[in-house]
Amino acid sequence: MDAPPEDDLSESTTAAERVAMVWTLTLEAWKLSGRPLPQYQRHETPVRRIDRRTS
């Protein structure tokens, strides 16, 4: 029997391939939620920045 795949795909896939995998899952999650996919420009993307530097 084959061993299960490793969780770390960084050695067997490109960054673009990993983003494509996540994008597919993201679209499916939005469909299942019944909510519309947000339509905003990248510079308008809501983000939260957390400064983790210690004083």
The whole model's pTM is what? Answer: 0.51
Q: What is the pLDDT of residues 10-53, one digit of tens each?
A: 889 999 999 998 998 999 999 999 999 989 898 998 888 888 88
Whole-number Å distance between alpha carbons of 20 and 8? 16
State how far the Cα of 51 lies from the Cα of 11, in Å rounded to an integer: 30
* pLDDT score at 54: 67
Spatial separation of the C-alpha atoms in residues 12 and 6, rounded to whole Å:
10
